[in-house]
Amino acid sequence: MANRLTKIYTRTGDDGSTGMADGSRVAKDDLLIQVIGEVDELNSQLAVLSCHAPVEFTGSIRTIQNELFNVGAELSMGQPIIKQESVDWLEQSLDELNLSLEPLEEFILPGGGLAASHCHVARAVCRRVERVLVAVDKRAALNDYLKSYINRLSDYLFVLARAISKQQGADEIYWQSERLK
């Protein structure tokens, strides 16, 4: 960061706008600002997850948090940062986690212990990020790798929740549909 913040408040946002990386101002209710906020919320939820997750998973969570900061930077600057390598890393990590898990034969409900539940919340927030990204992309084309990364991240978080449940010895909760009984 070239300029360190010594004063957090600037009063420039009091008019309902916020500053972008290029110096321009955008309304705080703009879809682009909404998705940047959703990414920030996802990153914050991953911080909570990291506080409760087994230590063997915290390194990958921190890697994702750093990458989400890059996602926010890309959205703020309008310049591609996320690359295929980021998507590849998620896919490889997802495949490695999945090797230790039993194949799913039923749908599972969010749960499976405190850390896994936090992971499911992060997954749901990630899906919200993806929905807003799609809306932003309709207005101005986004980096395809960025969209792929967020899509893959929600899959990763689902599998991570399952892996955490297994590692902590918590039972997954299976969906009990009244229609299937």
Within 8 A by CB and 6+ apart from 54, the residues are: 115, 164, 167, 168
pLDDT of residue 181: 55
CATH code given to domain 24-94+107-171 = 1.20.1200.10
Q: What is the DSSP letter of 141?
A: P
C-alpha distances out from residue 163 to 42, 112, 117, 157, Å: 19, 10, 12, 10
- Could you report the per-residue pLDDT of 109-149, keeping only the tens digit for each? 999 999 999 999 999 999 999 999 999 999 999 999 999 99
Q: Which residues of the chain have pLDDT under 50?
A: 1
Q: How far apart are the first and last CA of the chain?
A: 58
- The domain spans of the chain are 24-94+107-171
pTM metric for this prediction: 0.91
- β-bridge pairing 108-109 and 25-27: unpaired
pLDDT of residue 134: 97
